[in-house]
Structure 1
Amino acid sequence: MLSVVGCKNDYDPMDTLCDVSWYTSETIKQSGVYKVNVDSFISFMDLSQGCLKHEWIIEEGSKFLKNDFNYKDGNLSSQVDENKGLVSTRQQESVFFAKPGMTKVVLRNVFSEWVRSNTSEPVEAVKEGDDWVLTKEFPIDVYGKLDPAVTVKKLDGTVVLDIEPGYEVSDDKEQWTKIELMAGDQLVFIDKEGGDRPDSRTWAVANRTYSDKEAVVRFTNANTFSGFTISSSRKEPKANVRKIIPLVVTVKPCTDPFEIDYASSYVDVTSPDIIVLQAKNGAFLKATGVTDDFTVKVASDNTELDVIEVVIDESDNSRLNLKLATPVYPDEKILVSYNAGANEIVATNANRVLQNFSDQEIRNDYLGESVIPDAALKLCGFELPYAGNYWADNNSLKHCSLSGDRYYEGAQSLKVDINSVLSSQIFFMQSEPKYFALEPGTYKLMHYIYVEKAGSGLAGKPYSAYSMGANNEQHDEDGQIVQFKFPEKTGEWVLNSLVVTYTADDIKNGKMGYKFVFPQTTPQGSLFYIDNINLIKLR
């Protein structure tokens, strides 16, 4: 039996099998590669019995720790046992990884007869002379330290500050880079992802936080700002490093007319009854009694959305929030107008007031609320077995299966592998008892598709969704057809969506279901994934 234990987090001395089992993680089993930070360790224990000879073998850059090392001591490098070299015959060893990169730890046991490990992926002994030798390799990916690197630019591309990995920030602010801006000017903070494989970052700039790789920061208030930071992070193996950005920004009042930045204004995707107007060159000081001065309408049919409240954002006074009586719907083009009345909207400096504007489009990225019940959404995202009384298929399991290989959200998707010529179409559909309640109206039927392998001519070929309502008593194909096309792009998730309108006659007993069909003409050799089927209400 071979067992391996984990890293220094939550480490305890290993005396029992229970300890060993506890240190074996699912993540390691699935990936097959151990991921550790440089200057950390993994402890290994061999539970084999009847060995003639036993060895743990490591490579240059790795070292055995002393038998009585203290894992709580932050300086593990001082507890290395140089006398052990690269080979140890002890049953239990802890290996310190001092060098980033791929390495391995090898267990080599010699037996007098053939043996096989009792593991999920068995390893068998190989005959060498008169002995049987069992060799097990543990591949280890040693991640180096994180070392944030940053470039700060103006919108015109002029570099303000450039910090490379290893840059030491002076404690003396007089040595820092200084720049003057006008209220409303913007800087771009670019994460150059210094260090070994960071996967996220958090910027802290002028009392706000950002997570984008390239964060565009608008300085709206006249003041002097400094103490900006970037925190670079990695999920596995866990690491986080925070670095100060040595930059001092002095913002001067703007005397230009006070205006809205329409391109940066938007519908709040978490509260679609709120429109956020972003000041272009300053911040808001006063906006009272101005509700009737704004007009919001849907461009397609000039439907007006009543504005019931106008307030300055509590967390950012460069934003003005318009609260609507009814929410904005997905895909709607929203136009906003402002015509100052008796109470003007005032900026924070230079006695400036907001300029009038008419029918300016603001960004609407709101995706809408699902009408599919919460209990069914997991099934529509294939987080639960699709055939478990919700989805059924035409005996196509040789083509369709749940998979954790790819997923847009959650942990699974539906994998469709056209691995042979189709004798007929393949489909999966909701079973009738699992239809969901639906009212007549206009909706957007959507899902995400990931094409991994495109068979010859797959791009642009159709596949369909059939509405399973009143016209589909026997689940035949005379219902309303929503026809999608396979995307041109491969290797990335693509949102496919189409608008559908249902009358009362289209819906059976107030309920609706769907059947997705991949036709017989779907090219052989195609491999794709479907995830997050959804139905969104439109206006």
Structure 2
Amino acid sequence: MRNKLYLGIILLFGALVGCQSDDMYDAPTELSDVGFYTSKGQAKELQLNIYDFMTFSDLSQGAIDHEWTLDTGISILEGPIERNDTDYESKIIHPGAQSSKEKTINLYFQESGTKWVRLYNTFKDSVTFRGNDGVDNYFLGSEWIDNKWVIDTTFRVKVYDTIIPEIIVKQNDQVVNHKSTDTIYVEAGEFLEFIDVTTIGEPTGRSWSIFDLETETNYATSNDSIANIQFNKLGNFRGSINSNRSGENIPSDGDVYRIPAPIKVIPSSKPFEINGDIYEREDETIVVTYNGEFAPFTNQEQFFTVMVNDIQFPVASVTIDENDGTKLNLKLVDPIYRPDVITVSYIGTEILSTDTRTASMFSDIPVIMDTTNLVPDNISNLDANDGTWTNYFDNQGIVSYSTDQAASGDYSLKLEIASGQANVSAEAVFSQPLIFEGDKTYVVSYKMFIAEGATGIAPPSQINLFLIQNWGWQLWNNFEHPIGEWVTVTAEYNSTIPLSKFYLRVLSNADNTTDATVYFDDFSILVKEERP
């Protein structure tokens, strides 16, 4: 039975023979040793692009028999091959040959998919190969077959095809013919949906570009597989996708597809009206979004009414956002605070869209106040699912990211403690320490969900969130909350000790009989604001 090894790159561990002076030299007996080499690095599976070549060398000594056998779609090239050579077709020798007894062969891969290259050697003595498959060191011994010692080795090669971009373009959920040269007409404020369905060449990413032919600049870009591009500006545009493949040990490739169909944005037939919520930014700017871009204007502050806790506050300025022409930025003369109840109204007629529509009036729309969370997103809402939350060193239970329950998004942090365990504990390390200001009060909170069926949860069982390095403070609570629903746990915090990580634990009762599953989500630290 042949001993076959699937590997990518094998390092040769050659035998070293000591030297003596000429007059004491004794001729060595013939050695049996095994070694092989490829030109594409270390991996269990070698990878390269189609129409590329790879060198395979048998460095064994004392072999009785030696032969390379090739899969289909592989040709042998005549060497040597210079670094700048690209015309491999002209170097093919022995077309159609599927074997060779040369010690070193240059192989040209002309078909995509998983290919194999086999090396068969026999020896009069037992040999052992010592190598590394890119992950682990290993030893491969020969087998005694038909009165010979046999090493039968197969290299597996993943050959990537050339990337050929393929896309779908939709307008109002209907597929449009992007391969035609007929113009795609889009009303201002509407979307086109660009969908990347490329499979040939196994791309790992893409970038969409929408080019403004008037300004000769990119109007919009996206790296999403499905890009919904809103066209708010009148004019003519061209779209393209750059589909690419990259990654560690993956051969790179890419191709650009320029959409033949031009895109023309025309005036909208819809009202120019508010689109989405009015909200406050961290710098106390109130943002109003419409369904199209604004034409330049001045002196429109008197047409906006901003009520703060039922008192009208004067508007200092109304401007178009520098980065998004669909947004108006309102600044007030006086400061506003998170607990404030704010509404905005507009009764003007002089603010227009870029396609000459008049901005619709609106009355008493509430403002969503800023809640800038100081906790990084990947720690706060869990949807990154990136492993930032992990076991604490003394953990006895199970810590995992879960889609069973979520207060927001898709994921939450799941902590499971079983009877007989003292705790289940997790930590999340901040990439940069969070620095607190001594003259401010902070509000620390998280949401938790106690699953049905929890037992042994009476005190002293408890749940603690520590803000390390401040071991002297914890957000403590017990299990005395409704079962089977999300609840918010909150406490105020005053400290100047930097926060480098969260330490979260569930402690069992005194008899270690607690058996419970608890989900956590939406960890938050906010600066507390109060109107003076």
Q: TM-score, normalised by structure 2?
A: 0.64
**Pair 503,4 (structure 1): closer, same or farther in 2 beyond 3 Å:** closer
SS of 1:78's partner is: helix
Distance 1:54 1:309 in 2: 84
1:302 Cα offset (Å): 9.2
Distance 1:98 1:333 in 2: 69
Question: Which amino acid letter does the alignment assign opposite residue 184 of structure 2?
Answer: I
Distance 1:64 1:503 in 2: 73
Query: Contact 2:10–2:131 (CA<8 Å) still a contact in 1?
Result: no
Query: Contact 2:446–2:490 (CA<8 Å) still a contact in 1?
Result: no
Q: Where do residues 82-481 of structure 1 align in structure 2 (5 Å cutoff)?
A: 82=94, 85-111=97-123, 112-119=125-132, 120-155=137-172, 157-161=173-177, 163=179, 176-205=181-210, 206=212, 207-225=219-237, 227-235=238-246, 236-254=250-268, 256-262=270-276, 277-280=288-291, 282-290=292-300, 310-322=318-330, 337-340=344-347, 344-350=350-356, 352-358=357-363, 360=365, 368-370=373-375, 391-393=392-394, 396=396, 423-428=420-425, 441-445=442-446, 465-468=463-466, 479-481=476-478
**Pair 371,243 (structure 1): closer, same or farther in 2 beyond 3 Å:** closer
Question: Which amino acid letter does the alignment assign opposite residue 152 of structure 1?
Answer: V
Distance 2:514 2:74 in 1: 52
Distance 2:232 2:335 in 1: 30
Query: Contact 1:33–1:139 (CA<8 Å) still a contact in 2?
Result: yes
Distance 1:202 1:366 in 2: 32
**Percent pairwise identity:** 24
Matched residue, 2:491: 502
Matched residue, 2:505: 516
- Worse-matched range after superposition: 128-137 or 435-444: 435-444
- Worse-matched range after superposition: 93-102 or 421-430: 421-430
1:266 Cα offset (Å): 7.4
**Pair 337,327 (structure 1): closer, same or farther in 2 beyond 3 Å:** closer
Query: Contact 1:469–1:508 (CA<8 Å) still a contact in 2?
Result: no
1:242 Cα offset (Å): 0.4
Deviations 1:227-262 (A, max 9, x none): 321111222332211011111233322365422322
- Bigger share in helix: 1
Distance 1:240 1:257 in 2: 42
Question: Which amino acid letter does the alignment assign opposite residue 536 of structure 1?
Answer: I
SS of 1:260's partner is: coil
Question: Which amino acid letter does the alignment assign opposite residue 346 of structure 1?
Answer: L
SS of 1:247's partner is: coil
Q: Where do residues 15-26 of structure 1 align in structure 2 (5 Å cutoff)?
A: 24-25=41-42
Distance 2:337 2:143 in 1: 69
Distance 1:149 1:289 in 2: 49
1:22 Cα offset (Å): 9.4
Distance 1:415 1:71 in 2: 54
1:99 Cα offset (Å): 0.9
Distance 1:57 1:346 in 2: 74
1:60 Cα offset (Å): 0.4
Distance 2:84 2:241 in 1: 28
Query: Contact 1:4–1:44 (CA<8 Å) still a contact in 2?
Result: no
Query: Contact 2:435–2:496 (CA<8 Å) still a contact in 1?
Result: no
1:153 Cα offset (Å): 1.9
Deviations 1:63-84 (A, max 9, x none): 2322122342333333333358
SS of 2:89's partner is: helix
1:113 Cα offset (Å): 0.8
- What do you get for the CA RMSD once the two structures are aligned? 5.5
Aligned residues: 446
Distance 1:52 1:485 in 2: 78
**Pair 34,536 (structure 1): closer, same or farther in 2 beyond 3 Å:** farther
**Pair 437,184 (structure 1): closer, same or farther in 2 beyond 3 Å:** closer
**Pair 154,335 (structure 1): closer, same or farther in 2 beyond 3 Å:** farther
Distance 1:138 1:523 in 2: 51
1:97 Cα offset (Å): 1.7
Distance 1:333 1:122 in 2: 72
Query: Contact 2:239–2:258 (CA<8 Å) still a contact in 1?
Result: yes
**Pair 43,523 (structure 1): closer, same or farther in 2 beyond 3 Å:** farther
Question: Which amino acid letter does the alignment assign opposite residue 337 of structure 1?
Answer: V
Matched residue, 1:80: 92
Which of 45, 52, 72 is the matching residue for 1:33?
45
Question: Which amino acid letter does the alignment assign opposite residue 260 of structure 1?
Answer: I
**Pair 43,315 (structure 1): closer, same or farther in 2 beyond 3 Å:** farther
Deviations 1:199-225 (A, max 9, x none): 322211242112222222222233233
**Pair 43,239 (structure 1): closer, same or farther in 2 beyond 3 Å:** same
Structure 2 unpaired stretches of 5+: 12-36, 213-218, 380-384, 401-412
Distance 2:316 2:39 in 1: 58
Distance 2:368 2:112 in 1: 45
Distance 1:478 1:442 in 2: 11
Question: Which amino acid letter does the alignment assign opposite residue 64 of structure 2?
Answer: L
Bigger radius of gyration among the two? 2
**Pair 58,228 (structure 1): closer, same or farther in 2 beyond 3 Å:** same
Distance 2:370 2:115 in 1: 46
Distance 1:417 1:54 in 2: 58
Question: Which amino acid letter does the alignment assign opposite residue 233 of structure 1?
Answer: N
Query: Contact 1:5–1:45 (CA<8 Å) still a contact in 2?
Result: no
Query: Contact 1:295–1:337 (CA<8 Å) still a contact in 2?
Result: yes
Distance 1:124 1:238 in 2: 36
**Pair 499,532 (structure 1): closer, same or farther in 2 beyond 3 Å:** closer
Query: Contact 2:372–2:526 (CA<8 Å) still a contact in 1?
Result: no
**Pair 144,302 (structure 1): closer, same or farther in 2 beyond 3 Å:** farther
Query: Contact 2:280–2:370 (CA<8 Å) still a contact in 1?
Result: yes
**Pair 303,383 (structure 1): closer, same or farther in 2 beyond 3 Å:** farther
SS of 1:262's partner is: coil
Question: Which amino acid letter does the alignment assign opposite residue 228 of structure 1?
Answer: G
